[in-house]
Structures are given as structure tokens and as C-alpha cells.
Chain A
């Protein structure tokens, strides 16, 4: 039961490593690649704190082995902001609207919201709530998270104004 070769593209960077087949993707990301943005919350595929983007779809990285993901393109919260550290519109909106309190769910929540807005750039409030139904937040009551996603959606779909 040796280690297997795992090759991923994470946040645009090709990475390779050896992992036991039983290594879950969340552990590979956090322990091998030191990407500690995705969190381990419930560890039972309920809470969504470990959400990452895998080949353009949101998944819970606690319920997939790293070796199953081999060959995939992955985006974590670390890959959402600009290369120079500029916050993504979603990150800005979460900050402005107080879309977090303790912050534990936030990486998963924003990574999920990022994909939601890629799939549906102008979601209704109901579509947002349904879209983030796999991400639990025990602080905010979701109200400000929904507001933040609505704001980011408007921001991202607004035609860019020329700088004066």
C-alpha cells in the first residue's frame, strides 16, 4: 500500500507530490501544499468550510481523495484574490457588508459564491440562498452573506467605467 503520485494544478500552479491513497484532498491541500485557506469544519460533507473549485465545479474537499482529483484544476480561496493581493469583488463585499463574524466558514463560502456567480452572474436572492445551501455559517444568520453576494454580483456584472 505505497504512496501514489498526485499531480494537480492549484491556483494556476502545477504541483506534484506523493500521497497515500487514503489522503483526503483537504489534507493534501492543507498539509502538503500549505494552503490552509480551505478549512476542516464538520469533516462529514455537511458544512462546506472545505469547499474548493475542482474543474469548474464546487466540491467538498473533505469527501474526495487527493488521488481521485489527480489531473484536476483546483482553485482555493488563496487563488481568488488578484496576484498583487487585490481583493476580489466578493472578498470586498464580504468585508463591507459584514458577511462574516468568526470567519471560519468564509473561505468556503466565498469559494462557493465565486463559482455560483460564474454559473449565474445575476442570481436572485432565492438562487443565492439555494446556491450556498451547502455552506453553513453559525454566526451571521446569512443575511449579510446574501447581501455581500448580491453586491459582488452587481459589481462584477457592471460595465467597467473608464478611469478618469
Chain B
């Protein structure tokens, strides 16, 4: 499969990249790891006239701490994310999730920025970012702005990102030390998208859940922040009843497509199982 023809650009800074996007408008696409865009181009589902390759832009690289927040550059690959000691210590759900994405070669190429910015409902990181209440830093012709991950996803492949804008980094307030976390993903095989998956971040205080945040992958047009399910856990001991209530509330908001991963009912059922396992795993990891 051969993609359509295009002109190639390799800017050295975010402002150059924004300039190119402004010049070529909707005929231009950003490419980083290329593992979402290039397959689409091979199928001629994407036919950009201009590709803006951002791989040489230093501002988009690396993981750092900034005023208590974890800042992950858009170009950080899944492999780099897995290797980050800072993230493993402060926010281990990212590593746990990245290890469940695709395979080693794909993780070497695929970037966190592409994973969250494309709006592909099959991608795993968007729900995790919603559970973490992450914020996306966006640069565009009119300057920089921030959008919460929970407000970013509008429909499949449709996000708050406007033409001409670039997602430059992800900003996460590190969860409290001793928090519980889990990303539970049901997939048919390595490299598959989730039949259903659930991300949970929670805190325990003397046996009671003091905060909880739950989000779902690939059981709707967008990642789903499960507010009611999260609320169903807070103030409980995460006993069977509370978990059952959260599972029911989470299943309530799912609307999966019937596809080769199974019919709707099955995928909603699996979402419930993933939520239950994620809560139980997170509870077992919470130390306070």
C-alpha cells in the first residue's frame, strides 16, 4: 500500500511548525511517530498534501517536573515513558498502561502526543489522562492555551484541537504518594485495541476511599470519564457493594460499537469486569 503524494517539512521549532500549518491550512498534517497517520495514509483515508514532521523540535521532548506538575513532551515515545524513573515513581499508571499498548517496535515509534491528540477511541492514554485529570498544553497561531483531558474529546477523531494547533505537552498533577492505581485492559491479542479497558486512580484514608477517579477506553465514541462511578466509591471501604455500584454506574455510560471485538452487550459486560478488577487492584496497591 502506497500513500498519496505529499511535500515533506521538518521544522526545528514549534513556531516554525505553527507557521507551516498556517501556510498550508487543512492540507497539512503533523507527523511524529506516524503509527496512526501512516496506516491511514496507506489506506488513502488520509491524503495530506503536506506533512509537518515534528521529530526535530527539542521543546517537545522529555519528561520533567514543573512546579509540582509532571510535564510530558508530546514527542515522548511509549518506550521512553516506560523507561522514565520519574514517572514510575510519581505516576506508575502511565508505565502500566504503556506496557499494554501494541508491541516493542510500535512503542519505540508511537508518541504520547499522538496517542492522546488523535482522538482515536481505541487509544489507551486518553482515558488514563482523564482519570489523572491531566491538562493538555496546546500551541497555535493565537498563542498557547490549555484544555483539560476531560473536555478534549468531542467524537471519534474529533477533539478540541483546532486546525493549525499542536499539542505540545501533557501536564499532570502527580497523584498523592501511596495512591492506588490500575489500568485493566481486555484485548484479544498483542497489538489489538481494547475490547474494553478501565483506568482507576484512588486514595485510601484509614480504610475509607477518600478520592476516586475512573475512566473507560474504547466503549464509546470518546474516552469516557466515569463521574458517577467515581463518586460511588468515595466514602466507602471499597467493599463489594460499593464496587458493584461503581460497576453499574460505569456500564451505564458505555455505548460500544458492535465489531470484531464482540457485540455491544459483551463489550459493556467486559467493561464492567475491567472496572471491577481495576478498582480491586488499585485498592490493593493503595498504602494509606
Q: Do A and B come from one complex?
A: yes
Across the interface, do B104 and A134 meet the contact criterion of CB distance under 8 Å? yes
| Nearest A residue to B51, CB-CB | A21
Across the interface, do B1 and A43 meet the contact criterion of CB distance under 8 Å? yes
Distance in angstroms between the alpha carbons of A46 and B193 in the assembled complex: 12
Across the interface, do A58 and B5 meet the contact criterion of CB distance under 8 Å? no
Across the interface, do B108 and A57 meet the contact criterion of CB distance under 8 Å? yes
Could you say which of A44, A63, A112 contacts B109, with CB atoms under 8 Å apart? A63
Interface residues in B2-50 by Cβ distance below 8 A to A read: 2-8, 31, 34-35, 38-39, 41-42
User: Which residues of the partner chain A approach B105 to less than 8 Å between Cβ atoms?
Assistant: 45, 48, 51, 58-60, 112, 134
Asked if B53 CB lies within 8 Å of chain A CBs, one says: yes
Tell me the minimal C-beta distance from B169 to chain A in angstroms: 21
User: Which residues of the partner chain B approach A104 to less than 8 Å between Cβ atoms?
Assistant: none
Interface size class, chain A: 20 to 34
Asked if B103 CB lies within 8 Å of chain A CBs, one says: yes
Interface size on B, residues (CB 8 A): 28
Q: CB-CB contacts of A30-65 with B at 8 A, as 1s and 0s?
A: 000000000000011110100100000111100111
Q: CB-CB contacts of A84-104 with B at 8 A, as 1s and 0s?
A: 000000000000000000000
Across the interface, do A58 and B35 meet the contact criterion of CB distance under 8 Å? no
Across the interface, do A134 and B190 meet the contact criterion of CB distance under 8 Å? yes
Given contacts A65-B8, A65-B34, contact A134 B106 (CB under 8 A): yes
User: Which residues of the partner chain B approach A162 to less than 8 Å between Cβ atoms?
Assistant: none
Could you say which of B3, B39, B108, B191 contacts A58, with CB atoms under 8 Å apart? B108
User: Which residues of the partner chain B approach A45 to less than 8 Å between Cβ atoms?
Assistant: 35, 38-39, 105-106
Asked if A4 CB lies within 8 Å of chain B CBs, one says: yes
Could you say which of A1, A24, A59, A134 contacts B6, with CB atoms under 8 Å apart? A1
Across the interface, do A22 and B108 meet the contact criterion of CB distance under 8 Å? no
Distance in angstroms between the alpha carbons of A141 and B109 in the assembled complex: 27
Tell me the minimal C-beta distance from A128 to chain B in angstroms: 11
User: Which residues of the partner chain B approach A134 to less than 8 Å between Cβ atoms?
Assistant: 102-106, 190-191
Tell me the minimal C-beta distance from A23 to chain B in angstroms: 9
Asked if A68 CB lies within 8 Å of chain B CBs, one says: yes
Distance in angstroms between the alpha carbons of A131 and B41 in the assembled complex: 28
Distance in angstroms between the alpha carbons of A51 and B2 in the assembled complex: 18
Asked if A78 CB lies within 8 Å of chain B CBs, one says: no
User: Which residues of the partner chain A approach B7 to less than 8 Å between Cβ atoms?
Assistant: 1, 21
Across the interface, do B109 and A133 meet the contact criterion of CB distance under 8 Å? no
Q: List 30 A-B contacts (CB under 8 A).
A: A4-B8, A20-B5, A21-B6, A22-B3, A22-B5, A22-B41, A43-B1, A46-B191, A48-B103, A57-B79, A58-B104, A58-B108, A59-B105, A59-B108, A59-B109, A60-B106, A60-B109, A63-B38, A63-B39, A63-B109, A65-B8, A65-B38, A112-B104, A116-B104, A131-B104, A133-B103, A133-B191, A134-B102, A134-B105, A134-B190
